[in-house]
Amino acid sequence: MELNLEDKYSQFRGEVRSFVDKEIAPFANEFDRMQHLPEKLIEKLIANGYISSMISKRYGGGNFDNLEIAILNEEIGRGCSATRSLLTVHGMCSLGLQRWGSEEVKSKYISDLASGKKIGAFALTEPTAGSDAKSIETIAELQGEYYILNGTKKWITMAQIADIFLVFANCEAKPTAFIVDKNTEGLTIEAMNDLLGCRASMIGKIHFNQCKIPRENIVGRIGYGISHVAMTCLDYGRFTIACGCVGLAQASLEESIRYSRERKQFGKYLKDNQLIQRMIAEMIVNIKAARLLCYNTAILKDNIDPDSVMETWSAKYFASKILMQIVSDAVQIHGGNGVSPDYNVSRYYRDAKINEIIEGSSQIHEILISRHGYKQY
């Protein structure tokens, strides 16, 4: 079931799926081993307009609606979670700037983000502050026409290749957002390699040592960092990750069906084993449920419905939870081959755990969804 989507969405899905099957999926294991995305792939994402899908046409972006964004991230996520993460963090940076940046700072950066001339990243998390974003320790102090930035950010996706960062720091003891160029004096980037999953996401630490940030590079106002800017970005991040989880679950299903059709044990194909059939049935139903949650969220977002925020939480929570079960079953179906790097499900399993943690772990989602439930009912 696809909510009776218009033909244009089916056509769009076909175009993206074809791109993924040609340019991403066959090489995703290689990306994982190399721990970076090839420049040529990024250029193709830019050329197809995928990198700017979330940016308004006013600034040269693709201005996709949220159903198109859902389908795009689902299909890219089906091919490679690390590639999908580029779209996510570039979008988070772009939307934060588009929504809350001054016209001066937007004219300085956003057209380059839309064209792909510059890659954006989102820098909130710190060594001692993750889900508790209000506990950030990075400091920004105004000195003349510059803010002086000191601190460290960690687990920053695409830090190794990003050109600009949307950075959050305490200014006058209030969380505040700034746009920071990677070439700023005193800014250094430390690569973080050999992580469990999403290894091509080019994650890194960013160190700020007396970095001078032009006064006009503040995004929003002092104190708007978490409540306004970050919330806009994180809502988009959770939505695209949820859709990406659906795509990765779909890939796990397709690999499991393919393998169970070909593999024989005890004189019969795995597909004829009722225990395998149960796993496949649960995969199919849970994927449909997660996809519908994501598409419902997309429709609410397009209708500017305030319920879209909580529906985004629900979609990300459910999609990432069922993904872990689905990839676990996919590995089980593959048996010993499931833990071999020669089979895609091994990477899927590692990437799935990352998706369950980022942009709010399952436990954080449980707290917020239950609190909303108590208020609502």
pLDDT for position 22? 98
Domain stop point among 87, 115, 143:
115
**Is 248 found in the same domain as 231?**
yes
pLDDT for position 156? 98
pLDDT for position 1? 41
**Which domain does 133 fall in, by range?**
120-223
For the segment 280-307, the average pLDDT, to the nearest whole number, is 96
**Is 371 found in the same domain as 240?**
yes
**Is 352 found in the same domain as 232?**
yes
pLDDT for position 192? 97
Flag whether 102 is in a domain: yes
**Is 335 found in the same domain as 276?**
yes
Instruction: Tokens for 192, please give them.
Output: 């973080």
**Is 367 found in the same domain as 320?**
yes
Looking at the structure of the chain, the number of domains it has is 3
**Is 108 found in the same domain as 219?**
no
∠ at Cα 351 (112, 340), nearest 5°?
130
Percent of the chain with pLDDT over 90: 93
Give the C-alpha distances (Å, rounded to integers) separating 363 from 31, 358, 360.
Answer: 30, 11, 8
Position 132 confidence tier, pLDDT thresholds 50, 70, 90: confident
Mean pLDDT, all residues of the chain: 95
* Structure confidence by residue, pLDDT tens digits, 182-238: 999 999 999 999 999 999 999 999 999 999 999 999 999 999 999 999 999 999 999
Domain stop point among 192, 223, 254:
223
Position 135 confidence tier, pLDDT thresholds 50, 70, 90: confident
Flag whether 143 is in a domain: yes
**pLDDT surpassing 90 at residue 131:** no
> What phi and psi, each to the nearest 5 degrees, are found at residue 74?
-65, -50
Rounded to an integer, what distance in angstroms lies between the CA atom of residue 257 and that of residue 271? 7
- Gyration radius of the chain over CA positions: 21
Catalytic positions: 359
CA nearest 239: which of 372, 1, 49, 66?
66
3-state SS assignment for residue 119: coil
**Is 305 found in the same domain as 165?**
no
**Is 300 found in the same domain as 188?**
no
Domain stop point among 91, 115, 139:
115
Residue 248, class by beta-carbon neighbours within 10 Å (0-12 exposed, 13-18 middle, 19+ buried)? buried
**Is 251 found in the same domain as 352?**
yes
For the segment 170-189, the average pLDDT, to the nearest whole number, is 97
Percent of the chain with pLDDT over 70: 99
**pLDDT surpassing 70 at residue 2:** no
**pLDDT surpassing 60 at residue 270:** yes
Position 3 confidence tier, pLDDT thresholds 50, 70, 90: low
Flag whether 2 is in a domain: no
Flag whether 1 is in a domain: no
CATH of the domain at 24: 1.10.540.10
**Is 165 found in the same domain as 245?**
no
**Is 164 found in the same domain as 44?**
no
pLDDT for position 376? 84
**Is 236 found in the same domain as 372?**
yes
Instruction: Identify any residues that bridge with 181 across adjacent strands, giving them in sequence order.
Output: 164
**pLDDT surpassing 90 at residue 4:** no
CATH of the domain at 203: 2.40.110.10
CATH of the domain at 275: 1.20.140.10
